[in-house]
Amino acid sequence: MNKKLIAGIVIAAAVVCCGGGYVAMQNEKKVKQENVQISEMLDKLPDITVKEGESLPDLKNNIEDTSMIEPDTLKVDIQNVDITVPGTYDVVYSFKDIHGNERSKTVQCKVEANLLDHVYGMDDIETDCGKELPKDETTFDEEYVSSVTRDDSEVDIDTPGTYNITYTVLGTDGSMEEADRLAKVLETAETTQAPEEIVETPVPTEETTPETGNVEPIEQETVKTGDNTNVTGWIIAGLTAGAAGIGAVLYRVLGKKRRKN
């Protein structure tokens, strides 16, 4: 074989080997770059914060670049999250990257307590003019609330009207919420005394005796009787004696007339 031909074949083989190695190196470099991009994308996934009772947002939107993810492989596992109970829960992202590798990332989901829902008795208040405001009798769940204060400094209890009061609620995690309510100072109706009843006392009138000239008053004779005297008996006896006397007179008159005849 011609030496020149052999040398050419060797050189060509060397070039091919070098070219293949270069391509392999470039591919490896590209994969490394893509892995870095995927890692950075996962690192950028934020933790989630929602208020108690709120719905979770679409967490897939938190992935900024989906070009490194195989289509329809992205999943977000939120089955451990209870949005009705304040606390911290795990949310897991999982997918296949463009190289077919399984990828996953766990982030925290914090459900914050709605402080106002854990305070009881934050009501409007009222009082009569000139009287003190009712005491603050609010209660709260100590698991989520550390203190509740009522600011009623704007209320003038000596002037009827409606005023603003504010309840400030401090959470055990350092969060704070406020609630506005109203305080009414009522007008106190003046107590009116019932009119005194005037009792007219009749003025005694002097009885006047009609003037009849110089008429002397008739003195009535009072018959005094002893303790054992029966007045009625005396009257009957007098009447009987009178009748007997009249009878005797009539008898004498009639007797004289008979004799003359």
Q: What is the CATH number of the domain that holds 153?
A: 2.60.40.10
Confidence check: pLDDT of 104 > 70: yes
Question: How many domains would you assign to the chain?
Answer: 2
Domain edge (last residue) among 112, 139, 154:
112
Same domain? For 104 and 41 the reply is yes
Same domain? For 94 and 146 the reply is no
| Alpha-carbon separation of residue 86 from 30, 65, 228 (angstroms) | 44, 31, 115
Q: Give me the mean pLDDT over the 17-33 stretch.
A: 69
| Structure token pair of residue 127 | 């009082």
Tell me, yes or no, whether 135 lies in a domain. yes
3-state secondary structure of 254: helix
Pick the closest to residue 49 from 99, 112, 106, 100 (CA basis). Answer: 112
Same domain? For 98 and 148 the reply is no
Confidence check: pLDDT of 249 > 90: no
Which of the four pLDDT bands, split at 50, 70 and 90, describes residue 195? low
Q: Which residue has the higher pLDDT, 97 or 13?
A: 97
Say what percent of the chain tops pLDDT 90.
Answer: 50
| Structure token pair of residue 82 | 């209870």
Tell me, yes or no, whether 229 lies in a domain. no
Q: Which residue has the higher pLDDT, 222 or 234?
A: 234
Same domain? For 92 and 44 the reply is yes
Domain edge (last residue) among 92, 112, 132:
112
3-state secondary structure of 49: strand
Same domain? For 134 and 70 the reply is no
Beta-strand ranges (E) seen in 26-122 are 48-51, 75-77, 87-96, 102-112, 119-120
Confidence check: pLDDT of 26 > 70: no
- Give the number of C-alpha atoms closer than 13 A to the C-alpha of residue 33, restricted to the C-beta side: 6
Tell me, yes or no, whether 231 lies in a domain. no
Residue type for position 92: V
Domain edge (last residue) among 53, 79, 112:
112
Task: Report residue 129 CA to chain centroid gap.
Answer: 21
The CA radius of gyration of the chain, in Å to the nearest whole number, is 64
- Give the number of C-alpha atoms closer than 13 A to the C-alpha of residue 189, restricted to the C-beta side: 3
Predicted confidence at residue 32, as pLDDT, reads 84
The pTM (predicted TM-score) of the whole model is 0.55
Tell me, yes or no, whether 235 lies in a domain. no
Domain assignment of residue 43, given as a range: 33-112
Same domain? For 108 and 122 the reply is no
Pick the closest to residue 68 from 107, 91, 100, 23 (CA basis). Answer: 100
Q: Give me the mean pLDDT over the 60-85 stretch.
A: 91
| Structure token pair of residue 99 | 């190289």
Tell me, yes or no, whether 257 lies in a domain. no
